[in-house]
Amino acid sequence: MFSVLSYGRLVTRAVIGGLSQTDSRDYSLVTARCGFEKDFRKGILKKGMCYGDDACFIARHRSADVLGVADGVGGWRDYGVDPSQFSGTLMKTCERLVKEGRFVPSNPVGVLTSSYYELLQNKVPLLGSSTACIVVLDRRSHRLHTANLGDSGFLVVRGGEVVHRSDEQQHYFNTPFQLSIAPPEAEGAVLSDSPDAADSSSFDVQLGDIILTATDGLFDNMPEHMILQELKKLKKTNYESIQQTARSIAEQAHVLAYDPNYMSPFAQFACDNGLNVRGGKPDDITVLLSIVAEYTD
């Protein structure tokens, strides 16, 4: 079983590989999502668009399409805290702010900042930590604006090649940058980064560009060349094709995560840091797969 939701019209006018741009046309994202929980409960989606401790959102506003993924830090479970509550609430807050128009498309860090500070001001403390990645397509300017904090991320593919990719942010091995809320007695002892520390970028996109946004459960288990091989199978831009490819990528990463003989990107990174590690990395996996298309109401 799997869970995939799609956004956008069934028929788009984009053709993979890119079409000539016309300034008068607005762009949009046609997006599908798929994910798996770490503990094999495949495709079970918690309330709030969460796969395990991962969370995501897909929102539309008249000026932009906005996507986000977050990965709750599992270590909080040792202290009786559900890690999915922090990541899920963060993403739901981002989604609400976008739908209410309380954001600037060119400033995705602002969306992350506003959401985080809302969590800080909750009357009932919400404890936890999370990475986060926000992707915004400005329909009129045809520019993609991104903010990435930690080891979730995105890549943009054009003509079968990666033309943009987010930079991973790590304090040290397997310790990504993260937003955190700790109990008062633990403040200063819990790793916590500012939303302003997010790596941000802005660049033009073209019709037919493929945007893959995902948590580290994907990138730790599938190297770039494997992801590109799967994306090459995406020949159409309708819902069914995007769903099928999103599912294929998530499923392959999920299988590799439990292969003890596979030299995964995570295992290679561990070896680079002096650790004798082999195999995949069991983890929650969230994949958002988007194609840039001409906007239609």
**DSSP assignments along 45-73, one per residue:** PBTTTEETTEEEEEEEETTEEEEEEEEE-
Q: Residue 162 — φ and ψ, nearest 5°?
A: -75, 120
Orientation of helix 108-120 relative to helix 83-99, angle to 10°: 120
Rounded to two decimals, the pTM is 0.90
Predicted pLDDT of residue 229: 97
Q: 165, 161, 151, 139: which is closest to 16 by C-alpha?
A: 161
Are the C-beta atoms of 230 and 212 separated by less than 8 Å? no
Side-chain half-sphere exposure of 107, counting CA atoms within 13 A: 11
The H helix count followed by the E strand count for the chain is: 6, 15
- What is residue 13's predicted lDDT score, i.e. its pLDDT? 42
Task: For the chain, list residues with pLDDT below 50.
Answer: 1-21, 42-43
pLDDT value for 16: 47
Per-residue pLDDT tens over the stretch 98-108: 999 999 999 99
Tell me which DSSP letter residue 80 carries: T
Query: Are 31 and 8 a contacting pair, CB within 8 Å?
Result: yes
Helices 224-231 and 239-257, interaxial angle, to 10°?
150
CA–CA distance, 227 with 212 (Å, rounded to integer) = 9
pLDDT at residue 221, rounded to an integer: 98
pLDDT computed for residue 15 by the predictor: 44
